[in-house]
Amino acid sequence: MKPAVPGQLLGIQYLRAAAALMVVLHHSLEQLPAYASLLASHHFGGSRLRNGVDLFFVISGFIMVLTSSRTSPGDFAVRRVIRIVPLYWVLTIALLVVLTWRPELFRSTVASVPYAVKSLLFIPYANPAQNGFMYPLLVPGWSLNLEMFFYVIFALILFLPRSSRLIAAAIVFVAVVWLAPKFQGTAYGQEIAFFGNFKLFEFLFGMMLAQWYVRGLPRLAAPVAAALAIAGFAALFLELPGLSYDPGDLLEVLADVALPSVVVVFAMLSLEPTLRARPARVLAYLGDASYSMYLSHIFTLGVMRYVWVKAGFDRVTLPHAFAFEIAGIAASIAGAVVVYRCVELPLLNGIQGAYKRWRKPASRTSAVPS
């Protein structure tokens, strides 16, 4: 498989859009508990939709290797901060403002200065409004706490020769996952346990996939790749009756979400020539806006729920429940496009432009012989 420019990988873009939409649908199902119960009774449960985050983690490991193999650790760290932090901070601060102004728009969020500081600094904490789960004020940001931890590890392995980076990352991930439980009962045991999440290995699998891709990953025939993608998505979506999945069991995590996520990404990479022949520009654009969608949909769904109830549309019937889900997804997409165009892109362009201008004089100075 011939490597392509990462920005031109339509399959990855489509998967970013799909992963964000899965998370949106998962959270929309939680907005009105009566709807969630009704839909669950008709076998339309939403718990498996949260596996969109696992897709994001595999994609993240894959993209980091493809785009940063020749990058210095410092440059990598700065670029990742520029990419992740501004929008997250803007929306977290916006959440604090809205909580003070219209707290009824949110079902379960408690604001305080310590919680705000920890949320902004990507420090996990037991959130009392979320049953003690390690969620920040802006709930989807829990995955960013793990993502930023991965970036720290990735920046450190960039000091090493390229040939040893994957092995070093694997050693660090295994060490973290093995050591984290040993801090249980200590002052920061819960926070350390958060970073020992088995989902760390999904970043590693994405890195491995990127290594194979760069070296010429064998491409499957399009029909086989399509079937594999469908099978992978089915494994991520389906909740088989009688089976319970334990997030604390490594083998179950690997088989339940990590392996299907890797299979889906691999299949979409194989489908890249087919996807390029007939590109779906809307899906590609939603892939661009997926970060905005992932962070902003909580606001949109909160407004949707408030308006829905105020308008008297909250009758507990199947048509009303489905109508709310459809309206919530449509509104979340529209909101994401607005946030992407009006907030994320201007922030990125402005800060990245300033960073490039700052680096140019430094580069010229360092190029002058001493």
The answer to whether residue 149 scores a pLDDT higher than 90 is yes
Residue 370 counted as domain residue: no
Residue 279 counted as domain residue: yes
pTM of full prediction above 0.85: yes
pLDDT band per the 50, 70, 90 thresholds, residue 38:
confident
The answer to whether residue 253 scores a pLDDT higher than 50 is yes
Tens-digit pLDDT profile for residues 324-352 = 999 999 999 999 999 999 999 999 999 99
* Separation between Cα atoms, residue 25 and residue 92, nearest integer Å: 21
What percent of the chain has pLDDT above 70? Answer: 89
Residue 215 counted as domain residue: yes
Measure the CA angle with vertex 329, ends 115 and 32; round to 5°.
Answer: 60
Instruction: Pick the closest to residue 304 from 336, 282, 326, 284 (CA basis).
Output: 326
Residue 86 counted as domain residue: yes
Q: Which of 151-155, 256-260, 353-357 has the highest mean pLDDT?
A: 151-155
**In this structure, what DSSP letter does residue 16 have?**
H
Residue 109 counted as domain residue: yes
Residue 147 counted as domain residue: yes
Question: Dihedral of CA 144/146/197/131: which sign?
Answer: negative
Q: Would you list the DSSP string of 61-118? A: HHHHHHHHTTS-HHHHHHHHHHHHHHHHHHHHHHHHHHHHH-GGG-SS----HHHHHH
pLDDT band per the 50, 70, 90 thresholds, residue 72:
very high
Q: Which domain holds residue 149?
A: 6-363
Asked if residue 49 lies in contact with residue 313, where contact means CB atoms within 8 angstroms, the answer is no
Asked if residue 289 lies in contact with residue 282, where contact means CB atoms within 8 angstroms, the answer is no
What is the structure's pLDDT at 188?
A: 82
Q: Is 236 exposed, middle or buried (0-12, 13-18, 19+ CB in 10 A)?
A: buried
Q: 281-288 and 318-339 helices cross at what angle (nearest 10)?
A: 70
* Separation between Cα atoms, residue 236 and residue 74, nearest integer Å: 36
Asked if residue 324 lies in contact with residue 313, where contact means CB atoms within 8 angstroms, the answer is yes
The answer to whether residue 259 scores a pLDDT higher than 80 is yes
The total number of residues written for the chain in this structure: 370
Q: List for the chain the helix, strand, coil content (%; round to 5).
A: 75, 0, 25
Give the number of domains in the chain. Answer: 1
Residue 232 counted as domain residue: yes
Q: Which of 83-87, 252-256, 320-324 has the highest mean pLDDT?
A: 83-87
The per-residue pLDDT of the chain, averaged, comes to: 88
Residue 369 counted as domain residue: no
Task: Count CA atoms closer than 13 A to 55's CA, side-chain side.
Answer: 33
Asked if residue 176 lies in contact with residue 150, where contact means CB atoms within 8 angstroms, the answer is no
What is the structure's pLDDT at 46?
A: 67
* Separation between Cα atoms, residue 327 and residue 346, nearest integer Å: 28
Tens-digit pLDDT profile for residues 129-143 = 777 788 999 999 999
